[in-house]
């Protein structure tokens, strides 16, 4: 393994940088800007069993240190993803990809995961039980340890590929939910998803988003994400994928010291389409600056050091 490489649930990544779901489409859109094979991997757009149009517009609002979004899981449905999106992706990305899955019932999760599990290019299933922007969506499962464990157990029975559970920060005890997922068979944990927020237009005196509230992401959530990654990584014995406000190589190092095996970059991709590529290019110099020989060696360094 090289200086930047890490192993996530048994699969080697050239580097720990993963473009986060919802900010990187199905990959081929960004392949028009640069060779996306430089990524460790990416998590493609959140997929449900049936097609979803998503929430009404406007869906995005800017904030001083981030943004709000209320997309509402717009996607063409898993059958169309398999038939159309993945073949297009395969033409420009040669590595295993992470499939992000959402649902409205345990049956939804099982069906969508079982379909994607059969796809050769899918390396991991990222089961999102943390979406705050849809009524009755995954966050219903992600805020209760028992409900979370039931989803994980059902999905694990139906698939063969590693299951990484994406958790919500909107809970009082993130560790109990992560531990319940691990006990149910999860192969990894990813966190954090967005935090509910709102903006109000002073001229109209109405919420900016048609959905009224949306998920807050960007640099403003980074300290919260680092704290939760540290808490979970200190407790579970499965890999943690850290995310939330990551925007530079130093942030990647900090997340890994907190216990993350790999690090997802989300909102930064919407600000600069070259964000992931630039972070990867900057990592060796930042490692040299802080006396780091191999990234794999610093995982959980702040916990164990």
Residues annotated catalytic, as ranges:
131
- The answer for 54, left when phi > 0, alpha when psi is -120 to 50, beta otherwise, is left
User: Nearest CA to 24 among 32, 13, 15?
Assistant: 32
Please name the residue ranges forming H helices in the chain: 78-80, 86-90, 106-117, 139-142, 145-158, 174-183, 222-233, 249-257, 267-271, 275-289, 301-304
Bridging pattern class, strands 41-47 and 97-101: parallel
Question: Tokens representing 249?
Answer: 């190589």
d(CA 294, CA 283): 11
């Amino acid at each position: 393994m090289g200086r930047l490489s890490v192993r996530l649930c048994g699969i080697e990544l050239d580097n720990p940088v993963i473009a986060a779901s919802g900010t990187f489409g199905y990959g081929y859109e960004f392949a028009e800007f640069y060779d996306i094979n430089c990524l460790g991997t990416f998590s493609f757009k959140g997929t449900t069993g049936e097609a979803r149009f998503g929430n009404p517009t406007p869906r995005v609002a800017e904030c001083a240190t981030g943004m709000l979004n209320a997309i509402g899981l717009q996607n063409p449905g898993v059958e169309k993803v398999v038939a159309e999106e993945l073949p297009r992706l395969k033409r420009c990305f040669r590595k295993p990809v992470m499939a992000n899955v959402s649902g409205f019932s345990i049956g939804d999760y099982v069906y969508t995961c079982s379909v994607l599990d059969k796809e050769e290019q899918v390396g991991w299933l990222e089961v999102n039980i943390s979406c705050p922007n849809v009524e009755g969506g995954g966050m219903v499962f992600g805020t209760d340890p028992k409900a979370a464990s039931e989803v994980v157990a059902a999905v694990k029975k139906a698939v063969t590929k590693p299951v990484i559970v994406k958790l919500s920060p909107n809970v009082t005890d993130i560790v109990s939910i992560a531990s319940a997922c691990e006990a149910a068979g999860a192969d990894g944990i990813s966190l954090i998803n967005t935090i509910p927020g709102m903006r109000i237009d002073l001229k109209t005196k109405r919420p900016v988003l048609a959905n009224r509230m949306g998920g807050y992401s960007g640099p403003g959530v980074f300290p919260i994400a680092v704290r939760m990654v540290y808490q979970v990584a200190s407790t579970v014995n499965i890999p943690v994928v850290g995310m939330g406000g990551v925007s530079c190589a130093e942030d990647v190092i900090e997340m890994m010291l907190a216990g993350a095996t790999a690090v997802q970059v989300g909102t930064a991709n919407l600000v600069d389409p070259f964000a992931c590529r630039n972070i990867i290019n900057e990592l060796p110099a930042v490692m040299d600056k802080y006396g780091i020989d191999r990234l794999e060696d610093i995982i959980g360094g702040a916990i164990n050091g």
